[in-house]
Structure 1
Amino acid sequence: MFKEPLRAYQTVFSKALRLIGDYTGRNTEACYFNEANWCRLYKRELWNGIRFPEVMYAQDVMAACQLYARMNKVADIDCVLYYWLQSANSVTHKERSFSFYHDNAAAGITNSEYALDHGMLPARSYYTMTTQLEESKHVLDPLSEEDNSLYEKDKNVVSALIKKMNFFQKLLCLLLGKIRLLEKRLRP
């Protein structure tokens, strides 16, 4: 059982961080709380007023902070109740369009704003918005005025959000993001 799932979601987002936390006796493996909201049981009223946005990628990421902020505590059971088959052809594993990266960056932006507004370090969301913004730049069609406009808007919003953070918050978000990037390179 753990409290503050939103804080856990924002800070315990890589295997390395979970292992370090477990090694120091903080039981962070149980606190790993991602945006895959399909793998949990919820009280129905938690979803009141929360809906997945239509016609966009990263719908689960977009709803994560708002949903997790409504929870007081979470029970984690160390038991496999569901087997998830990941397909190499799924949208998450195959889609690499500007829209895909833009929507993921937008979800990171939304969650960063939410975390900051609630006095919380937006480490996971910082990682999401900055990495997805960078990825969107690499697939940007220079001839698409709409995509270029969206990219510039995203870049400005990300910059403004980072400016809202103090030096320590920026440093911690950057460090935790680098740990996650290193982990992804070592274990794809």
Structure 2
Amino acid sequence: PGPGAYGLPTTIGYEKHDNRKQRMPQYSFGIRTNVSGKDAGPGPGAYQVDKLTRYGKGGGLEYTMAPLTKFKDKGFGPGPGAHDVHLKPMFKGTEAPAYSMAARHNFNFKKCGPGPSAYMYDINNVKQAAPKYSMGIQTKVLGKNNSPGPAAYGAGDLNLRLNRAPEYS
């Protein structure tokens, strides 16, 4: 007979597993998804698409609290090239003009501290100083000449920690 002629039971999976082989417990790597379809989403006919347009919902009156915006005529303003943005800035403050309901805080960055060249230090105090002591450990990096080579350590007896290998004579 050719390959596949015998119907042997599988050793993979949980269903129809070969009872002569050990079967591992069945675990999953994630959460179980809802396969019943109850929470799959709305079905067909749930939306009334006849009231939708490409601009949004259409159909009835809609009310808003925002003021009505009136668009000005395009010929009312200056044309292209009528102004140069590099001539002078629109405002001369440190912040862009903004409107808010809260009180304005005047946080001036110029008053935060001295500038980069305001510090003056004496170089002689840095160069010559009294001996200093520390509470930490002082480590010195050894060079290649001060470190031992690969054959400087003995291998030792390997049977001290492991079981002794069998010895035959």
Shorter-chain TM-score: what band?
under 0.3
Rg larger in structure: 2
Name whichever structure is richer in helix by fraction: 1
Which structure has more relative contact order (CA 8 Å, sep 6+)? It is 1
**Taking structure 2 as the reference length, what is the TM-score of the superposition?**
0.13
**Taking structure 1 as the reference length, what is the TM-score of the superposition?**
0.12
